[in-house]
Amino acid sequence: MSHVMNTYARLPVAFERGEGVWLWDASGKRYLDAVAGVAVCGLGHGHPKFTAALREQAGKLVHTSNLYEITLQEKLADRLAAVSGMDNVFFCNSGCEANEAAIKLARLYGHRKNIESPAIVVMDKAFHGRTLATLSATGSRKVQAGFEPLVAGFVRVPFDDLDAVKRVAEVNRSVVAVLVELLQGEGGIIVCHDGYLRGLREICEAHGWLLMLDEVQSGTGRTGRWFAFQHSGVMPDVMPLAKGLANGVPIGACLAAGPAAQLFKPGNHGSTFGGNPLACAAALATLSIIEDERLMENAVKQGDFIRAEIARRLADAKGVREIRGKGLMIGVELEQPCGELVQQALDRGLLINVTADNVIRLLPPLVLKREEAEHLLATLVPLIAAFLDRQSAPQAAQTA
Ligand SMILES: *Cc1c(COP(=O)(O)O)cnc(C)c1O
């Protein structure tokens, strides 16, 4: 019996080492990693410069706590402010913690305005994490079931629907913020329409709400810009980050601008590990390498290529609903649940993910090269085609 708690339906494989987009298991079998630790390892595995930065910092100093000044934390905050245009940062260790900080900021903001019971607008199919507050904000019954009572203070609306948010504004005087993913990751790589963010910004301005963008998955270069909001030129007030920020060393960050940046005072929030020297050195190295190696440009190039090629190669197949995404955050939605593809891909040395039952999710490292993208396509497309053939066969028999 395993002494690890039974919280994951794990695939029957363990990896021993990695290099770039490749992983090897103990038997020496090689896999192309198109999941990247769930949008975490943007630099791929074993990046020499990243490894050197980690080694160097590990040898100097790992942790001192936030009882003292941490120079690397100041440096990382400067760097994040520079690339995002935000004012300041709270450091923690994960995406849910970054969202917890955002939720606490929104509540503090509400109380400063004498709103007794501040509420936050959240979206259907959203994913914000597994702590009690963040699973309450998450728009999935599967994540919430069994953990009631949920944390109060969330008002749910359909994603990508500005009128629904406006209707909430008309009737609910307790709302203080909107929390939203611009590209819903776990929800199925659902992309909002072009004017959505601008529309949300206008509603937030009109009602004095904070616009809080959960860029935990879409941030740190994954969509081809540092942050997904930068495709639109609309600024958030609060932005939680995590996943790709330190290439696998645990870190979370909650960025804030304007009034939201002035809310926390000593004693309001904290974290023992948050922003320790090792994690900050890892994040600083990650940001430098993304910039130096032009990985955001590469994400756009390879992402456009992969989406276009999947569309072209499956043009005659029946059962593909949509191919979408931005940069190297890619979703292929099929008409039928397709979880079985994960194991089939694994057998053929390709790591993919299926989310929301019927969306194949590809989140390869940002270092993915053209020939590696070709390899990914050459493995994945025939698998999808064969799956769709099997799906349409019994249906054809039924209608005959
Ligand atoms: C993964 C994810 C989270 C949760 O991050 P953890 O580090 O697992 O707590 C929150 N929001 C979004 C958008 C995510 O993709």
Instruction: Give yes or no for residue 273 having a pLDDT over 90.
Output: yes
Nearest to 355 by CA among 39, 135, 52: 39
C-beta of 364 in contact with ligand 1 (< 6 A): no
Q: What is the DSSP letter of 303?
A: H
C-beta of 287 in contact with ligand 1 (< 6 A): no
C-beta of 329 in contact with ligand 1 (< 6 A): no
- Expressed in angstroms and rounded, the spacing between residue 398 Cα and the centre of ligand 1 is 42
- Expressed in angstroms and rounded, the spacing between residue 195 Cα and the centre of ligand 1 is 25
- Expressed in angstroms and rounded, the spacing between residue 127 Cα and the centre of ligand 1 is 7
Mean predicted lDDT score pLDDT of the chain: 97
Question: What pLDDT does residue 400 have?
Answer: 47
Instruction: Give yes or no for residue 263 having a pLDDT over 80.
Output: yes
pLDDT digits (tens, 9 = 90+) for 111-166: 999 999 999 999 999 999 999 999 999 999 999 999 999 999 999 999 999 999 99
pLDDT > 90: what percent of the chain?
A: 97
Residue ranges, comma separated, of all CATH 3.90.1150.10 domains in the chain are 15-39+294-399
- Known catalytic residue at 75: no
Buried b (16+ CB within 10 A) or exposed e, 10-31: eeeeeeeebebbbbeeeeeeeb
Question: What pLDDT does residue 395 have?
Answer: 59
Reduced to 3 states (helix: H, G, I; strand: E, B; else coil), residue 340 is helix
Residue ranges, comma separated, of all CATH 3.40.640.10 domains in the chain are 50-292
pLDDT digits (tens, 9 = 90+) for 342-373: 999 999 999 999 999 999 999 999 999 999 99
Instruction: Give yes or no for residue 17 having a pLDDT over 50.
Output: yes
Question: What pLDDT does residue 1 have?
Answer: 86
Q: Which fold has domain 15-39+294-399?
A: Aspartate Aminotransferase, domain 1 (3.90.1150)
Instruction: Give yes or no for residue 394 having a pLDDT over 70.
Output: no
CATH 3.40.640.10 for domain 50-292, yes or no, is: yes
**Please, which pLDDT band fits residue 251 given cuts at 50, 70 and 90?**
very high
Q: Give the residue carrying structure tokens 């597994």.
A: 130
- Known catalytic residue at 243: yes
Cα 74 from Cα 78, distance rounded (Å): 6
C-beta of 129 in contact with ligand 1 (< 6 A): yes
